[in-house]
């Protein structure tokens, strides 16, 4: 049934005229690591990288757009965009590439590992998509499951209920559904996509709040108020709020408390031993306003705690 829904849609919408622009950042920029943080798994239907070109399908306030980014020479990013939202997508490129990311108050020298990774990766920036609901829906899908499960659910739902991306994409790509589209996904489709009922209920509940929720988050004055708006949705907690803030708003201070691995990773990297969430927050305290930045640097460091137990294996409930 789902394959029929997919094949009935226009296989490639009219792209309209291609628009192009150049972005010349005033700072070092690692384009792939900065923008690549938005990808949800290797088979994300809204994001792919082919021959050095980043392709991204998104739903903008003006409609769906396909964006292609490539560094044509050091410090010069060429951008092309197709679709109804192409002008918005091009205008948003600097923010996506971390132009709004400020290092003010960040002191990497407070830990030798952080200082060394920061020195080796000066182009790592924290970009933002400015698409709060898409980031929220993706984060909810990642609650309390393995990445394999979450990315698979994201791929299925976008392919089944998203919108085909315009332009010469290297493979069929899809933008996320509209907010109403998320709300209208039938219960059997959530089940077949591998989404647990608490996650599907949380997305539908957030979609019922729709634009008012997005406005409350985007107009909030700081991270705590953004968290308050996000966690007012039943089924959205501190972890989901932080993941949403980091991707959608480029929040340099977001910390995903409650993550299955994060506290252990931070503890081992900064103190040589695993710790819990409380200990992680103590270790990150020397970098107020930049804790997400430090987490990103730790994950780039290559320092990992040796595994001591079995991996968390995904559970497939679709045949229950």
What is the model's pLDDT at position 9? 54
pLDDT at 132: 98
Question: What is the pLDDT averaged over residues 267-290?
Answer: 97
Return the DSSP state at 283.
Answer: H
Cβ atoms within 10 Å, residue 16: 15
Per-residue pLDDT of 213-226, as tens digits, reads 999 999 999 999 99
DSSP single-letter state for residue 167: S
H/E segment holding residue 129 = none
Q: Which two tokens stand for residue 13?
A: 């919408």
DSSP string, 28-63: ---HHHHHGGG--STT-TTEEEETTEEEEEEEETTE
Do the beta carbons of residue 252 and residue 295 sit within 8 Å? no
Tens-place pLDDT, residues 97-138: 999 999 999 999 999 999 999 999 999 999 999 999 999 999
167 touches 108 (CB < 8 A): no
Domain boundaries, the chain: 1-320
Rounded mean pLDDT of 175-196? 97
Query: How many whole angstroms separate alpha carbon 39 and alpha carbon 173?
Result: 13
- Nearest by Cα to 293 from 246, 249, 257: 246
User: How high does pLDDT run on average in the chain?
Assistant: 93
Q: How far is CA 45 from CA 75, 84, 156, 159, in A?
A: 28, 19, 9, 7
pLDDT in tens, 43-79: 999 999 999 999 999 999 999 999 999 999 999 999 9
In the numeric block, the tokens 């929720």 are attached to 213
Give 10's pLDDT tier (boundaries 50, 70, 90).
low
pLDDT score for 311: 52
SS3 20: strand
Paired with 56 in beta bridges are 47, 67
Write the CATH number of the domain with boundaries 1-320.
1.10.340.30
Contact 216, 253 (CB under 8 A): no
Residues 318, 191: contact at Cβ < 8 Å? Answer: yes
Going by C-alpha positions, the residue among 46, 8, 1 that lies closest to residue 186 is: 1
CA triple 248-154-7, angle to 5 deg:
120
* Residues 83 and 13: beta-carbon distance below 8 Å: yes
Fill in the DSSP letter of residue 153.
H
């Amino acid at each position: 049934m789902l394959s029929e829904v997919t094949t009935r849609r226009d296989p490639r919408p009219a792209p309209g005229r291609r628009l192009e622009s150049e972005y010349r950042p005033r700072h070092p920029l690692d384009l792939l690591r900065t923008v690549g943080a938005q990808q949800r798994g290797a088979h994300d239907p809204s994001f792919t990288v082919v021959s050095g070109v980043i392709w991204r399908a998104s739903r903008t306030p003006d409609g769906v757009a396909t964006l292609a980014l490539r560094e044509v020479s050091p410090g010069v990013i060429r951008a092309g965009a197709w679709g109804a939202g192409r002008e918005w997508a091009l205008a948003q490129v600097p923010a996506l590439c971390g132009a709004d990311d400020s290092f003010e108050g960040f002191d990497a020298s407070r830990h030798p590992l952080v200082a060394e990774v920061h020195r080796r990766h000066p182009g790592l920036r924290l970009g933002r998509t400015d698409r709060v609901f898409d980031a929220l829906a993706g984060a909810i899908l990642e609650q309390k499951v393995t990445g394999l499960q979450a990315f698979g659910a994201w791929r299925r739902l976008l392919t089944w209920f998203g919108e085909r991306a315009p332009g010469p994409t290297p493979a069929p790509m899809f933008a996320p559904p509209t907010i109403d589209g998320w709300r209208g996904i039938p219960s059997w489709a959530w089940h077949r996509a591998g989404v647990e009922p608490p996650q599907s209920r949380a997305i539908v509940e957030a979609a019922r709040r729709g634009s008012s929720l997005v406005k409350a988050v985007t107009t909030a004055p700081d991270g705590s108020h953004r968290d308050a708006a996000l966690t007012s949705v039943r089924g959205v907690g501190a972890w989901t709020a932080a993941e949403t803030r980091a991707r959608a708003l480029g929040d340099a201070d977001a910390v995903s408390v409650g993550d299955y691995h994060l506290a252990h990773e931070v503890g081992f990297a900064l103190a040589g031993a695993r710790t819990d969430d409380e200990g992680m927050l103590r270790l990150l305290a020397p970098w107020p306003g930049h804790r997400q930045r430090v987490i990103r640097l730790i994950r780039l460091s290559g320092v990992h705690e040796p595994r001591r137990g079995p991996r968390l294996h995904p559970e497939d409930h679709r045949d229950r």
